[in-house]
Amino acid sequence: MIRLGAVGYLNARPLVYGLESDARFSLRSDVPSECARLLHARAIDAGLIPSIEYLRGPAPYAIVPGPAVISHGAVASVAIYTARDPRDIRTIAMDTSSRTSVALAAIVLKRAFGVSPTPIPSAPDLESMLNRADAALIIGDIALFLDAAAHGVQKVDLGETWGRTTGLPFVYAFWAGWPDAIGPGDVASLQQARDRGLDHVMDIARASCPDDRARQTIVSRYLRDNIQYVLGGAEEAGLRTFYRYASELNLVPPFDGELRFFDANDSGER
């Protein structure tokens, strides 16, 4: 049985749809940073890891071709909240549950606004974060439903800002694992899970907010419009650019430019 680690956020649910009942896999859910830690420790065979963690493993990983968590513009669930002009941010409280989002925030603040604020690790609570720092990075489901206007702050959507400054998609997470961990048939199963999930977005929305139709609408729109799930050529270019910028800020080791993929055989994806 192949040990899979996934992320519990809404944006990952289409990628794991039906995998709980697939006898070839055992599946667990964690926050992104824990999923990556388990993969690095070889406590799981493959994981839906934050994209930055691809460069932080003890040995080169392989990527499952195709399925990924991506935005082409506004992502809605990864954002900086502040009452200041972003160019005046000097400290930022960081929700560190995804290191990709932390790296993306550092890159966007530097390249789009010309600042390198001091990071302060923090639990994802906007009020307490802004009591400690000029800005707050909040991600995931909390950010999706957080009303910035009600708190008197602006929301800087990092997917939108990345896309505006680079002209490229941003890749938040993908399946990656130890090179000997899974074969072409397993790759096909993960690709098929994504396809099933995208066919059942409304079911996922209803299950996530069973008693709240307004939130169901938000979730279904988010999964259809904000998040994309196919890692293709433009997305790979965005990923390479992210790795290059992260290397320039010494957030990851130097990137050799190569993305390594599992053999997909005749799946039609690479």
Taking a C-beta distance cutoff of 8 angstroms, is the pair 76, 226 a contact?
Answer: yes
pLDDT digits (tens, 9 = 90+) for 216-252: 999 999 999 999 999 999 999 999 999 999 999 999 9
pLDDT digits (tens, 9 = 90+) for 187-222: 999 999 999 999 999 999 999 999 999 999 999 999
pLDDT digits (tens, 9 = 90+) for 128-182: 999 999 999 999 999 999 999 999 999 999 999 999 999 999 999 999 999 989 9
pLDDT digits (tens, 9 = 90+) for 108-130: 999 999 999 999 999 999 999 99
pLDDT at position 264 is 78
Q: Which domains does the chain have, with CATH numbers?
A: 2-70+170-212+229-248 (3.40.190.10), 78-166 (3.40.190.10)
